[in-house]
Structure 1
Amino acid sequence: MKIGILGLGLIGGSLGYDLRSQGHYVLGVSRRDSTCQRAIALGSIDEASCNLSLLAAADIVFICTPIGLIVPQFKQLINHLSAATIVTDVGSVKAPIVKALAPLWENFVGGHPMAGTTDSGIEAAQRNLFVGRPYVLTPDATTPTTAIAILEEIVRSLGANIYYCQPEQHDRAVSWISHLPVMVSGSLIAACMGETDPQVLQLAKNLASTGFRDTSRVGGGNPELGVMMAQYNRQALLRSLQQYRHNLDEFINLIEQENWAALEQKFQSNQKVRPEFVE
């Protein structure tokens, strides 16, 4: 099968590695010729161009651009495709994308692989990135079952675990476990930098270890991605942030009141439920 990838960054490049290993012929499109050439040299794709017309030969196309470019790039892309071509995306927000694109293309299936790193670009792409990771598909009632089945087969070949849900359900869920952590992690870094004593601040930097590294990782990642999360999943993210602020206020009140027993109960409850999310 010929598979097109529009956007040769971390996700697009990683898809290319794995799809080629499955025997597919991979066509890649990027805005920069240097990225195209690098992707070929690395072995991520078979053929590349800055021209969308290259994807006319694809049986299925993965749109792997930043969220804000998915809709405008899609509208240009469909001028080059046959009606039978299946198109999917990998955006971390689904409702606005599906709402915009599903009416324009019968064989569109919204998607979101829950995999990645804080690094970006074709150099960050890696093999087997999706193995054991969730991959969400958000078809609607009018999506052809054949398109869903073909995409599902490809996703399963990546070693990913498939989940189906409505776009709005996806956005509410990821606001809790993906987008909120980015904002919380970012605010942690900003709060630390608010230390006014330069000696104390430098000491904190010197002492920072695994706890700070783990909790600050996503907040110190790609700034563009963080803004896109907030911009395109604004309503769900605000709801999550407000709930988080409420819980943070509860912790503040317990510490102010020196209510150590209640604080311990909070931590015990957290210890109990955390494995339901990460194990």
Structure 2
Amino acid sequence: MKIGIIGLGLIGGCLGLDFRSQAYKVLGVSRQQSTCDIAVEKGVVDESSTSLELLATADLIFICTPIHLLVPTLEKLTPYLKPQAIVTDVGSVKGAIVANCSRLWPNFVGGHPMAGKTEQGINAAQLGLFVNTPYLITPLESTPHFAVKILTEIVEKLGCQIYYSSPEEHDRAVAWISHLPVMISTSLIQACAEEQDLNIRQLAENLASSGFRDTSRVGGGNPELGLMMAKYNRQALLISLTNYRQNLDEIIDYIAGEKWQELEKILVSSNQYRDNFIQ
């Protein structure tokens, strides 16, 4: 089986390294020739090109571009595809992407590997990034069974934990645990930056340690990715943001009113419930 990868950044690069380590032939496409050269040099792909025509012989193709380029990329790719070729993506939003891509190519299967790191780009690619991480596969009722089966078999070899859902269920769930934290983290950073007393702000910057680093990490990530999350998962994100604001207002009310028992209940409940999300 030949595997194609479009977009040789962090995720595409990691996929290439993993699949080549399992003796698959990997073909890579990037907009930049310099990225193509690095990918071959680092052993991420066997062959690389700036032309989608390279993927004419590929059996399974992962589109690893930014969200807003997924559909336009598939539009340009379809003239080169074999009739039985399977196409998937790695985008963090599924509803609109899966609907549009499935109309363009019947053998399209939505996917979302939930793995990453702070560093981006081909030079950050590493083996084993997906081990023990969730990988969501989001087929439609019309998605061919053989396409889902083959994608599942290939993805299993990454060592990840596979889950299935509809695109809409994916977007609602991911809004809570991925997209909402980005917006909360962003607002935290902005609030700190807007401290008017420069001495206090400087002291806070000097004292910031692991707690601030952990809670601010995703807000200090890729701005383009954050914008695409909000744009393409707008409705689900608004619901989660509204619920979060209601909870934050409740906490403000407890502190302002010195309702310490009520605040303690929330803190205890959160301490216990957090395990459900991170275990």
Give the TM-score normalised by structure 1. 0.99
- Tell me if structure 2 keeps the 8 A contact 1:63–1:70: yes
Deviations 1:137-161 (A, max 9, x none): 0111121111111110110000011
Equivalent position of 1:64 in the other structure? 64
Equivalent position of 2:43 in the other structure? 43
**Which AA in structure 1 matches 2:85?**
T
> Aligned-pair distance for 1:119?
2.1
- Tell me if structure 1 keeps the 8 A contact 2:93–2:171: yes
Structure 1 stretches of at least 4 aligned residues deviating more than 3 Å after TM superposition? none
- Tell me if structure 1 keeps the 8 A contact 2:74–2:104: no
Deviations 1:83-141 (A, max 9, x none): 11000000000000011011221111000001011221111211101000000001111
Structure 2 residue 277 is the aligned partner of structure 1 residue 277: yes
For the aligned residue pairs, the C-alpha RMSD in angstroms reads 0.6
Q: Distance in 2 between matches of 1:72 and 1:146?
A: 25
Deviations 1:223-255 (A, max 9, x none): 100000000000000110010000000000000
> Aligned-pair distance for 1:43?
1.1
Equivalent position of 1:32 in the other structure? 32
Q: Distance in 1 between matches of 2:124 and 2:104?
A: 32
Structure 2 residue 86 is the aligned partner of structure 1 residue 83: no
> Aligned-pair distance for 1:57?
1.1
Gaps of 5+ in 2: none
- State the aligned residue count: 279
Equivalent position of 1:164 in the other structure? 164
Deviations 1:48-71 (A, max 9, x none): 000000011101100000000000
Gaps of 5+ in 1: none
**Which AA in structure 2 matches 1:273?**
Y
Q: Distance in 1 between matches of 2:113 and 2:81?
A: 24
Q: Distance in 1 between matches of 2:194 and 2:148?
A: 49
- Tell me if structure 2 keeps the 8 A contact 1:107–1:144: yes
Q: Secondary structure at the match of 2:104?
A: coil
Q: Distance in 1 between matches of 2:253 and 2:118?
A: 34
Equivalent position of 1:74 in the other structure? 74
Alignment identity in percent?
61
Structure 2 residue 213 is the aligned partner of structure 1 residue 226: no
Q: Distance in 1 between matches of 2:104 and 2:32?
A: 27
Structure 2 residue 161 is the aligned partner of structure 1 residue 188: no
- Tell me if structure 1 keeps the 8 A contact 2:58–2:82: no
- Tell me if structure 1 keeps the 8 A contact 2:134–2:160: yes
- Tell me if structure 2 keeps the 8 A contact 1:130–1:159: yes
Equivalent position of 2:10 in the other structure? 10
